[in-house]
């Protein structure tokens, strides 16, 4: 049952990305191009998502436990450290260069756009390399090379 709900949630998320235009890298790049052909419509998509998430969390936190699990899975680490900032910067740079973040990239993959066919495999390679670096202990807790 949990897998079915996960699939349906992902399907709704993906449909939202396609309908909002976030699966189109040109729309994302135009949003990021403040000095050129700036397209502010993506701000409304992000604002709508933020309001929806805010209301959803307020409703969910009233429950003693999630519907499909025993307890809420809440991250314990709340610190803003070098690995977090480095990862955020790399994510932002990749988003700015390619016009994709991971969710919309997966949704745009069936469109077989050349940019998507390059971005998704390289994203997977980057995830794999990042996992190897972490597993090998090449970075300490502060994100510096050891």
> What pTM was estimated for this model as a whole?
0.64
Angle at 136 between CA 134 and CA 142, to 5 degrees: 45
CA 57/CA 49 separation, integer angstroms: 12
For 59-88, write each residue's pLDDT tens digit: 999 999 988 888 888 888 888 988 889 889
CA 139/CA 82 separation, integer angstroms: 11
3-state SS string for 76-142: CCCCCCHHHHHHHHHHHHHHHHHCCCHHHHHHHHHHCCHHHHHHHHHHHHHHHHHHHHHHCCCECCC
CA 104/CA 50 separation, integer angstroms: 17
| Across 36-45, 62-71, 114-123, 132-141, least confident range | 132-141
For 80-127, write each residue's pLDDT tens digit: 988 889 889 988 888 888 778 888 888 888 878 788 888 889 989 988
């Amino acid at each position: 049952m949990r897998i079915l709900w996960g699939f349906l949630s992902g399907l709704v998320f993906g449909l939202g990305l396609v309908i909002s235009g976030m699966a189109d890298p040109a729309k994302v790049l135009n949003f990021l191009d403040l000095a050129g052909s700036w397209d502010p419509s993506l701000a409304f998509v992000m604002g709508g998502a933020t309001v929806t998430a805010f209301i959803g969390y307020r409703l969910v936190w009233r429950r003693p436990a999630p519907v499909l699990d025993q307890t809420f899975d809440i991250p314990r680490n709340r610190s803003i450290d070098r690995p977090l900032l480095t990862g955020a910067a790399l994510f932002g740079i990749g988003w700015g260069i390619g016009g994709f973040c991971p969710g919309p990239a997966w949704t745009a993959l069936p469109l077989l756009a050349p940019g998507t066919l390059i971005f998704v495999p390289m994203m997977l390679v980057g995830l794999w390399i990042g996992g190897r670096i972490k597993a090998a202990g090449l970075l300490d807790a502060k994100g510096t090379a050891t």
